[in-house]
Structure formats: structure tokens, C-alpha cells
Chains A and B, each alone.
Chain A
Amino acid sequence: MKEKRKGPFSRAAGIAEGVAATVRRLQREREPRVLVYDPSGYARLIQPEARGHDRIMGLAEDMLSEAAGRE
């Protein structure tokens, strides 16, 4: 069971932990990766060593370059 925090400093520490966890999660979400979703929304990762992974990454990078070229 999670220990209940007491006092303002403990609460502040709890909030800081929460913010840090959110930042870590956002950083993880932005790591290079390929995710596919089936019609029900279930997500699966195409592993970096999987067939086609590098080509998919390359195509996405090319798309980004095309979009950036306009800006």
C-alpha cells in the first residue's frame, strides 16, 4: 500500500515525483520507434531488429525532411 504523505513538504515531494515521472514518460514516448495500431486501438511495437523497421524509420525521416523543407 502506498504510504500516505504528511505535511506540505512531503506533498511537494510527491508532486515533484509525479512531474518527474511525467517527464520521463514523455521522453520515452518521443524515443525513435514504430508503433502500429489495430482497428480496436491496440498498439504493437515493431521492434528495431524486425524486418522493415529501418525502412519505415527512413521513410518517416524523409517525410519530416520534406515538411521541414517548406518551413
Chain B
Amino acid sequence: MPDTLTPERAAERLRELSADVRAAVLLDAAGSLASATEEERPRADKLADLARRLFEEVDRATRDWEAEPPEQVEVQVPGGAVFASRTPRWTLAAVAKRGALSSLMLYDLQAVLGELEGRPPIRRAASVEERTPGPATEEHAAEELPMPELGG
């Protein structure tokens, strides 16, 4: 994997980081589609348009707030969730499975945007890379949490 993430790979990179991502799109500062996990262009364009309008509506809804413009958005809807994060240059939006952990999704979005801005990529620990690969989803991670022992 190259050290510098290109915009063309950003959406797919997000899906690599999080198995809860169903689809993702990256928009440039002008709101144009830069990359998508969708192979069908019309569907990718539609998702990009919806993502752009999502932040427009958020900005409209929060314009009277005495606060900085939102950087990230989380919308929980029946059946799943939408997460989006932006920098002055990029907007990355993801449709996630129901049950995706918000904090992890938002962290992954920021991580990918960070990589696009030239920050070092997130890498798995070397010891994990050496193991036999398995399904590395957040759900599995939760299942692997140690359970407290009874008694004693």
C-alpha cells in the first residue's frame, strides 16, 4: 500500500478500516465526486449528491448556533446510520450498518481524511499482521472483550 492516500482510493480505504461501512463517497471542496465504493457511476453520483445536500442542510439547521460549523455529522435512521466528516478540502460520507459504533466510525472518517491531508496512515500492530487474518469487524471486536469471572 502506498504511503500517501490518493483521493481516488479514499472511499475504499474507509471500507478497509471499517467492516461496518456499506458505502462511502469522497467529495472535493466543490462538492464533486472524487471517489466512491460504488462501482456504478449513477449510484455513486446520487450518493455524492445526497452527501453534499446533507451538509448543506446541517449548515442551514445550525447557522444560528453560536458555535463553529459542525465538522462531523451522525444521523441514526432505522436500519442503519450515516456518518460524514469534512475538512476545508474534502467531505467523506459513509452509510453504515445498523449497530456500527459511532465513535469508531467517526474516528475512521477522520483517520482517512487525515491520511488524505498527509498524516501517517493507521497501521495494524505488527503482531496482528502476522496472525491468521479473520473477520476484523467491530462486532467481532466487541465479542472478544474479556468477560469478568464469577466467584472468587
Among A32, A35, A63, the one with the most B-chain Cβ atoms within 10 Å of its Cβ is: A63
Set B43, B67, B77, B95: member contacting A44, Cβ < 8 A: B67
Q: Which of A1-41 contact B (CB under 8 A)?
A: 8, 11-12, 15, 26, 29-39
Among A11, A32, A53, A64, the one with the most B-chain Cβ atoms within 10 Å of its Cβ is: A64
Instruction: Tell me the nearest residue of chain A to B101, going by C-beta.
Output: A29
Interface membership of B74, Cβ < 8 A: yes
The segment out of B1-9, B46-54, B129-137 that lies at the interface is B46-54
Q: How far is the CA of A64 from the CA of B96 in the complex (A)?
A: 8
Count A/B pairs, Cβ under 8 Å. 123
Set A12, A36, A66: member contacting B73, Cβ < 8 A: A36
Residues from chain A with Cβ under 8 Å of B72 in the complex = 36-37
Contact between chains at A15 and B95 (CB < 8 Å): no
Set A29, A37, A38, A50: member contacting B76, Cβ < 8 A: A29
Tell me the minimal C-beta distance from A63 to chain B in angstroms.
Answer: 5
Contact between chains at B150 and A31 (CB < 8 Å): no
Interface membership of B38, Cβ < 8 A: yes
Known: A59-B53, A63-B95. A68 touches B22 (CB 8 A): yes
Interface size of A by CB at 8 A reads: 37
Contact between chains at B47 and A31 (CB < 8 Å): no
Contact between chains at A30 and B70 (CB < 8 Å): no
Among B67, B70, B148, B150, the one with the most A-chain Cβ atoms within 10 Å of its Cβ is: B70
Residues from chain B with Cβ under 8 Å of A35 in the complex = 73-76, 102
Residues from chain A with Cβ under 8 Å of B62 in the complex = 36, 44, 46
Known: A46-B61, A56-B58. A66 touches B78 (CB 8 A): no
Query: Could you name 15 residue pairs across A and B whose Cβ atoms are closer than 8 Å?
Result: A29-B76, A30-B98, A34-B74, A35-B74, A36-B73, A37-B72, A38-B69, A46-B58, A50-B61, A59-B82, A63-B50, A64-B79, A64-B82, A66-B46, A71-B22
